[in-house]
Amino acid sequence: MLSKFTIAGIGIGAVIIAIGAYALVTSIGLQTVTLDEKIDVTKSATYQFLAPKSSHQNFKVSGEKFHVKLTTPGDGIQKDEEFKNEITFDWYVLQEGTNRIVITNAGQTELHVVGMFQKNTDPLLFTYHFMVVTAGIVIIGFSAAFSVRKPKGF
């Protein structure tokens, strides 16, 4: 017969395993990040992500005056210029690697940044999700000990 501690442990462990497994499955493959932010006067924002070859990237900056520094891997785009009003960047990554975008507000009004980036999943995040699943299994294992028949003398 299972004790109530064992049943509770199995339930909690199963929920933890389900959450970890769902996060693990959804984190596999290409991830799309949607960006919609505002940058205050004299502030800057940096975006850095690992993108696979042939992935589509784009962003649009609108505001009075701003500086954009865009660096893509390999022989890709290398921009370091000042812009006014609005600019749109749209490109496909030619070589897998880190894309880096630094946007600095040089005007008297706030900037509006809108974009969509496709990136690879961080391997550390994959490991984290796997550890969550393992923790659920450990909880089930420990809770099973509450139903083990105690030897004589205890």
Judged by DSSP in three states, 18 sits in helix
User: Are both 22 and 66 inside the same structural domain?
Assistant: no
User: Are both 126 and 89 inside the same structural domain?
Assistant: no
Mean pLDDT throughout 91-111?
A: 89
User: Are both 67 and 105 inside the same structural domain?
Assistant: yes
User: Are both 116 and 92 inside the same structural domain?
Assistant: yes
Which domain covers residue 9, as residue numbers?
A: 1-28+122-154
User: Are both 4 and 65 inside the same structural domain?
Assistant: no
| Residue 104 scores a pLDDT above 80 | yes
Lowest-confidence pick of 14-23, 38-47, 116-125: 116-125
Q: In the predicted model, what is the mean pLDDT of the chain?
A: 88
User: Are both 44 and 116 inside the same structural domain?
Assistant: yes
| Residue 153 scores a pLDDT above 80 | no
pLDDT at 150: 67
Q: Which residues of 5-41 are buried (b: 16+ CB within 10 A; e: fewer)?
A: ebeebbeebeebbeebeebbeeeeeeeeeeeeeebee
- Angle of helix 4-26 versus helix 123-144 axis, rounded to 10: 170
